[in-house]
Structure 1
Amino acid sequence: MSGRTASNSHDTDRVLAAVHQPHYWPWLGLIDKIDRSDCFVMLDTVQFERRGWQNRNYVAGPGKPVLLTVPVTQASRDETILDKKIDNTQKWRTKHHRALAEHCYRKAPYWGDYAEEIAHLYETEWEDLAELAIATTRLLTRGFGIDTPILRASELGDFPGHKSELLAQICAKAGAHTLLSGAGAKDYLDPGIMNRHGVDIEWQDFDHPVYRQHTRGPADEFVPRLSAIDLLLNAGPDALSVLRQAGSRG
């Protein structure tokens, strides 16, 4: 397992976990969270977020960023991510693959290294959004060389809690003593509830790396917060070191 932060700022018997909803072609902040953790839990049991990042993300275009959106069916506003189905009446797989292969990353230095695996992803007939989102995440973590185990909340058990209680229950079930969380959760995470389950909180404090985006002109400004596929296809085997060197690693 990866466990970079755990091995540096915790004793070796403490397990650091991160919990997050599955995202389609997730951004670098999520990949960094997986890399820092001893185990990562995909929170697929919560409500699907409309206009969120669970079914879409940006990649670099030759001009402005390109938004890739997976169309989904609308059965109920209360659908969980686990239950969300892809609308395959639309030709989104062909559109997304063509955008990556022809429009966005054809000239990227490491496109050839991952072209076959990406093509296979889009040759697969996905039905469940969660399955697709997790597949894109696993493709990225393999490319980055991150071997942190990725679990699914739906496979760990039933968790009746909400917010802090839910995250504490998941961490406890996964055998984690510490939750790695992004700063955005400071508004709702309750340390008291977490501690009652024997779980501490560690804040991610993510610093976005700046790197050469070869698909853009040398005079163009750097575009942050794209899918992590952008760094992977631009830096290849150096992608993980670029990510890790961006900020303090404790």
Structure 2
Amino acid sequence: MPVRVAMHQPHYLPWLGLVDKIDRCDLFIVLDDVQFERKGWQHRNYVASKNGPVLLTVPVIQRSRNERIIDKSINNETPWQEKHQRTLASHCYRNSPFWSEFGEGVTDVYNREWERLVDLSTATTDLVLNAFGVTTPMVRSSELGEFPGQKSELLAQLSAKVGATTMLSGEGARGYVDPEVFARYGITVEWQTFRHPEYPQHNRRGQEFLPRMAALDLLLNAGPEGMDLVRAARSTEAA
């Protein structure tokens, strides 16, 4: 049986492109034991307000430049949870069409204590996946063992480990994902070519649509049926 696998680092408040990737594969590998990217998107994302994008960042403790995501600790000396909850609940989405249905789940995330970034990221990802009805099984790369490869070789080894016949990759990886490396393992590479849907943003009436917000923006504005907009915009091309 053909098995399409996709993989990505865990992201706090994941954006729609990542949700789309998870929905399109048979198994998703969470790359939790790769290097944490400083000033990347693993601990922050934008949400939409009437005045424009608002960046929510989870403060993390800096120990080493080579620190893995799975080892990354949150800096709880600052009241980041209160700030993020207030931004989402009061400033951005309280009057959104689906806040009454999903708002309690959102605020519950910020009423819990978090020590590791990967656990918080997983919780925010599970929140939107469950709400959208995305049931793709997921496994963490740290659970699959140790692999000697780097970049394409590592991804190909992980894909082979789970019996994949195809690896779905995002457009941003074209510069380093080498289809020939995957071919040596009998695996085909497909490119995601994600197309961002547009939808009504309740607090942006009469203003320009803001794309690339956290997937929570689509959920709270369009509800679970918002996933139909993502699926309708799809395009995939073979490598």
Pair 1:70 & 2:58 matched = yes
Q: Secondary structure at the match of 1:194?
A: helix
Pair 1:239 & 2:226 matched = yes
How far did residue 186 of structure 1 move?
A: 1.5
- Structure 1: tracts of 5 or more residues without a match: 1-12
1:1-250 aligned within 5 A: 13-217=1-205, 219-248=206-235
| Contact preservation (8 Å) 2:56, 2:84 | yes
Q: Distance in 2 between matches of 1:73 and 1:98?
A: 23
Q: Deviations over 1:100-119 (max 9, x none)?
A: 00011011100111111112
| Contact preservation (8 Å) 2:5, 2:27 | yes
Paired amino acid for 2:182:
M
How far did residue 247 of structure 1 move?
A: 3.1
Q: Distance in 1 between matches of 2:59 and 2:139?
A: 25
Give the superposed CA RMSD: 1.1
Q: Distance in 2 between matches of 1:212 and 1:119?
A: 23
Q: Deviations over 1:114-134 (max 9, x none)?
A: 111112111111100011111
| Contact preservation (8 Å) 2:5, 2:166 | yes
Q: Deviations over 1:196-238 (max 9, x none)?
A: 1221101101100011111212x10000000000000000021
Q: Secondary structure at the match of 1:187?
A: coil
How far did residue 249 of structure 1 move?
A: 6.6
Distance 1:249 1:235, change over 3 A: farther
Taking structure 2 as the reference length, the TM-score comes to: 0.96
Q: Distance in 1 between matches of 2:73 and 2:66?
A: 13
Q: Which moved more, 1:170-179 or 1:18-27?
A: 170-179
Q: Secondary structure at the match of 1:107?
A: coil
Q: Distance in 2 between matches of 1:121 and 1:233?
A: 15
Runs of 4+ in 1 over 4 A off after TM superposition: none
Q: Distance in 1 between matches of 2:92 and 2:124?
A: 17
Give the fraction of aligned pairs with identical amino acids, expressed as a percent: 57
Instruction: Say how many residue pairs are matched.
Output: 237
Taking structure 1 as the reference length, the TM-score comes to: 0.92
Q: Which moved more, 1:57-66 or 1:185-194?
A: 185-194
